[in-house]
Amino acid sequence: MFVKERMNKNAVFVHENVSLAKAVSIMKESRHKRLPVVDENNKPVGVINRYDIEALGSPNFLLSNTKVGDIMESSCNKINENSLLEDCALVMKDNKTNFLPVVNNDNELAGVITGFDVLKGLMKLISINGEGCRMMVNSVDAAGIANLVSRSGKIKCIIVDNGCTIVKFDANNSDEVKERVNAQYDVVYFVEK
């Protein structure tokens, strides 16, 4: 799954030469806590957040005479819309953020993505929500487990991690699939929705 499939394409943003007063107004109106900051070519140059503005205090003179570019976080990370969602999650984790501007191949702002957008995408990717069966098997033999499940079930997702294989699947007779797998492997968890 790609970032462009989960990002918000209608990103609210501000230009770096806009006053803080205008940025505050845009944030209030759009109900956003942070906004990407772009230059005159629509290329992201930073991020501004409500907390940085609030830290300055709220004198109208200061808000009206200070530009967004003066206090924005200019070392912000961004991600390309064609990046994998998993890579986006790693960038967020490594940089301890839950918000990234998304750029196109010309490095122009294409949208934004939040940690919640990534979480929803990853949940869809591994079929964690929705109907079906999920089984955790104490083995890394994903091919062998897939062979047993696919005899009477439709596999949605297989993940191998920490010595276990997790299989999400649909089957008319899920108990039969579970018994077949358990005959050769150790099924440690099984749930049907």
All domains in the chain, ordered by first residue: 3-122 (3.10.580.10), 127-192 (3.30.70.260)
Predicted TM-score (pTM) of the model is 0.75
Indicate the SS3 state at residue 158.
Answer: strand
Query: How many Å separate Cα 70 from the centre of its chain?
Result: 29
Q: Cα(186)–Cα(99) distance, rounded to whole angstroms?
A: 40
Question: Strand pairing partners for 36?
Answer: 47
Q: Cα(190)–Cα(182) distance, rounded to whole angstroms?
A: 11
Q: What confidence tens digit (pLDDT) does each residue in 134-166 have?
A: 899 999 999 999 999 999 889 988 989 889 999
Q: What confidence tens digit (pLDDT) does each residue in 169-193 have?
A: 988 889 999 999 999 999 999 988 7
Instruction: Report the number of secondary-structure helices (H) and strands (E) in the chain.
Output: 8, 10
